[in-house]
Amino acid sequence: MKLFDTPTQKYVDFTPGPVVGIYTCGITPYDSAHLGHIFTFQTYDLLQRRLEDKGHEVRLVRNITDVDEPIYKKAAELGISYIELAEQETALFQSVLTQLDFRPTYAEPRASHYIDQMAAAVTQLVAGGQAYRLDDDIYFDTTQDVSFGDFCGFSDRLQRAFMQKRGGDPSRAGKRHPLDFLLWRGVSNQQDLAAWDTALGRGRPGWHIECSVMAGELLGTPFDLHGGGDDLIFPHHECEIAQSTALGQPQLAKTWLHVAPILYAGEKMSKSLGNLVFAKDLLQDHAAAVIRLSLMKYHYRTGGEWQPEFLDEATALLQKVSAAEATCTLAASALLLSEVRAALDDDLDTHRIWHALEDFGATAAGDPATEQAAGNLTIVKNLLGFSN
Residue 341 has pLDDT above 90, yes or no: yes
Q: For the residues of 123-144, what is the DSSP string, one character each?
A: HHHHHTTSEEEETTEEEE-GGG
Rounded-to-integer distance, Cα 304 and Cα 302, Å: 6
Q: For the residues of 34-63, what is the DSSP string, one character each?
A: BHHHHHHHHHHHHHHHHHHHTT-EEEEEE-
Residues 235 and 315 both lie in one domain: no
Does residue 358 belong to any structural domain of this protein? Answer: yes
Does residue 280 belong to any structural domain of this protein? Answer: no
Residues 227 and 367 both lie in one domain: no
Residue 182 has pLDDT above 90, yes or no: yes
Closest CA to 6 of 233, 247, 256: 256
Residue 276 has pLDDT above 80, yes or no: yes
Q: What is the CATH number of the domain that holds 344?
A: 1.20.120
Does residue 7 belong to any structural domain of this protein? Answer: no
Q: Looking at residues 208-221, what average pLDDT do you find?
A: 96
Do 89 and 31 form a contact (C-beta atoms < 8 A)?
Answer: yes
| Element counts in the chain: helices (H) and strands (E) | 13, 14
Given 211, 244, 268, the domain boundary residue is 268
Closest CA to 98 of 315, 283, 270: 283
Rounded-to-integer distance, Cα 357 and Cα 145, Å: 49
Which pLDDT belongs to residue 271?
66
Closest CA to 112 of 59, 147, 72, 167: 72
By DSSP bridging, strand 304-305 and strand 262-264 are parallel
Instruction: Give the residue, 330 or 33, on which the prediction is more confident.
Output: 330
Rounded-to-integer distance, Cα 53 and Cα 58, Å: 10
Which pLDDT belongs to residue 388?
64
Read off the DSSP letter of residue 194: S
Residues 133 and 254 both lie in one domain: yes
Which pLDDT belongs to residue 350?
98
pLDDT in tens, 94-109: 999 999 999 999 999 9
Residue 268 has pLDDT above 90, yes or no: no
Does residue 287 belong to any structural domain of this protein? Answer: no
How many structural domains compose the chain?
2
Residues 23 and 149 both lie in one domain: yes
Q: Which of 79-93, 206-220, 285-299 has the lowest mean pLDDT?
A: 79-93
pLDDT band at 240 (very low <50, low <70, confident <90, very high): very high
CA dihedral 119, 256, 49, 351 (to 10 degrees): 140
Residues 191 and 58 both lie in one domain: yes
Residues 51 and 184 both lie in one domain: yes
Task: Please name every residue paired with 227 in a beta bridge, in sequence order, or none if there are none.
Answer: 24, 257
Residues 229 and 350 both lie in one domain: no
Which pLDDT belongs to residue 365?
73
pTM: 0.95
Q: What is the CATH number of the domain that holds 199?
A: 3.40.50.620
H-run or E-run covering 137: strand 137-140
Residue 243 has pLDDT above 70, yes or no: yes
The overall average pLDDT reported for the chain is 94
Q: What percent of the chain has pLDDT over 90?
A: 84
Task: Please name every residue paired with 137 in a beta bridge, in sequence order, or none if there are none.
Answer: 134
Residues 332 and 184 both lie in one domain: no
pLDDT in tens, 133-146: 999 999 999 999 99
pLDDT in tens, 41-62: 999 999 999 999 999 999 999 9
Which pLDDT belongs to residue 164?
95
Domain extent, residue 368, equals 308-383
Do 139 and 246 form a contact (C-beta atoms < 8 A)?
Answer: no
Which pLDDT belongs to residue 284?
95
pLDDT band at 269 (very low <50, low <70, confident <90, very high): confident
